[in-house]
Amino acid sequence: MSSNWDSPGAQPDPAADGGRRLTKRHWQLIVGGVILLLAGLVVWRLTANSRSAEQARGRFSGITQPVGVATVSKHDVRVILNQIGTVVPLATVTVQAQIAGVLMQIGFKEGQLVHKGDFLAQIDPRPYQIALEQYQAQLLKDQAALKQAQTDLERYRALLERDSIAKQTVDDQVWLVQQDEGLVRVDQAQIDQQRLNLTYCHIVSPVDGRVGLRQVDIGNYVTANSSNGIVVVTQLQPISAVFTVPEDQVPTVLEEFHANGPLQALVFDRTNLKQLATGTLGAVDTQVDTTTGTVKMRALFDNANNVLYPQQFVNVQLLVKVIKDAVVVPKTAVQYGTQGPFVYALDEDNKVSVKNVKTGVQDGELIALTDGVALGDRVVTDGADQLKSGVKVTIRGDGAGAAGGPGAPGPGDAGQHPRGQRGSRAGAGAAPAAGAAAAGDGSQRRHRDPNAPSPPSQGPK
With contact defined as beta carbons under 8 Å apart, do 329 and 373 qualify? yes
With contact defined as beta carbons under 8 Å apart, do 263 and 270 qualify? no
Using one digit for the tens of pLDDT, what is the confidence trace for 237-248? 999 999 999 999
What lies within 8 Å, CB to CB, of 267 at 6+ separation is 85, 87, 241, 275, 276, 277, 279, 299, 301, 308, 314, 315, 316, 317
| pLDDT, position 334 | 93
Distance in angstroms (rounded) separating the CA atoms of residues 113 and 90: 16
| CATH for the 234-323 domain, from 2.40.30.170, 3.40.50.300, 3.90.70.10, 3.40.50.12280 | 2.40.30.170
User: What is the average per-residue pLDDT within 379-383?
Assistant: 91
Residue 162 has pLDDT above 80, yes or no: yes
| CATH for the 93-218 domain, from 2.40.37.10, 3.80.30.20, 1.10.287.470, 3.40.50.2300 | 1.10.287.470
Q: Please, what is the average pLDDT of the chain?
A: 81
Angle at which helices 432-439 and 418-430 cross, to 10° = 100
Using one digit for the tens of pLDDT, what is the confidence trace for 423-437? 333 333 333 333 333
| pLDDT, position 227 | 80
| pLDDT, position 265 | 95
Residue 225 has pLDDT above 70, yes or no: yes
Using one digit for the tens of pLDDT, what is the confidence trace for 47-91? 777 666 555 554 545 567 889 999 999 999 999 999 999 999 999
Residue 324: strand pairing partners = none
pTM: 0.60
Residue 89: strand pairing partners = 239
Using one digit for the tens of pLDDT, what is the confidence trace for 227-282? 889 999 999 999 999 999 999 999 999 999 998 888 999 999 999 999 999 999 99
pLDDT band at 386 (very low <50, low <70, confident <90, very high): confident
Residue-range domain boundaries for the chain: 93-218, 234-323
The strands making up 119-123's β-sheet, listed across from edge to edge, are: 202-204, 119-123, 101-106, 221-222
| pLDDT, position 407 | 34
| pLDDT, position 164 | 86
Share of the chain above pLDDT 90, in %: 57
What lies within 8 Å, CB to CB, of 364 at 6+ separation is none
User: What is the average per-residue pLDDT within 22-44?
Assistant: 80
| pLDDT, position 118 | 95
Spatial CA neighbour of 244 closest among 201, 299, 196, 198: 299
DSSP letter at 125 equals -
